[in-house]
Amino acid sequence: MLVRWNPWMEIGTLHREINSLLEETKAPSRLFERGFHKVPAAEISETDDAVNVKLEIPGMDTKDLDIQVTEDTVYITGERKSETKTENKGVSKSEFYYGKFQRAISLPTLVQNHKVSAEYKDGILHLTLPKAEEEKKKVVKVNLQ
């Protein structure tokens, strides 16, 4: 069966891919006001002994965060609750995000999830995840041909 190639179909595919990418990050914009879910920005670094994860979660109370760690993934969920204010005059506008968020971060190596330390300061969540002992000792020999 022969199918005629239509180059305009590629534009539709590109359009769907761009929309999918934008939905993952959800930049604050009128375009995305409905169904807006902000994903906290993350930074992951690795030392000989641990994996360090930093997440940008400003304006949160620690009681509104739930952090769960398996040996290879970190799961963070939280909710920023809105404060309702009434104004008699003028128009108010808010670009703050209120609502639930969740983030799952795959770790580059196995960790000891029962020895995780966490600190939340100035809107940044710092997690220190000690590497599993077998991962620290792992040495891989590379053969050159």
Chain segment 16-33, per-residue pLDDT in tens: 888 777 665 544 444 344
Domain boundaries, the chain: 14-81+98-132
**Whole-number pLDDT of residue 35:** 46
Between the CA of residue 1 and those of 4, 79, 109, what are the distances in Å? 10, 53, 48
CB 57 within 8 A of CB 65: yes
Q: Just give the CATH number of 14-81+98-132.
A: 2.60.40.790
Mean pLDDT of 40-68: 91
What would the pLDDT profile of 82-131 be if each residue is shown by its tens digit? Answer: 665 556 566 566 666 677 888 899 999 999 989 999 999 998 999 999 99
Q: pLDDT > 90: what percent of the chain?
A: 33
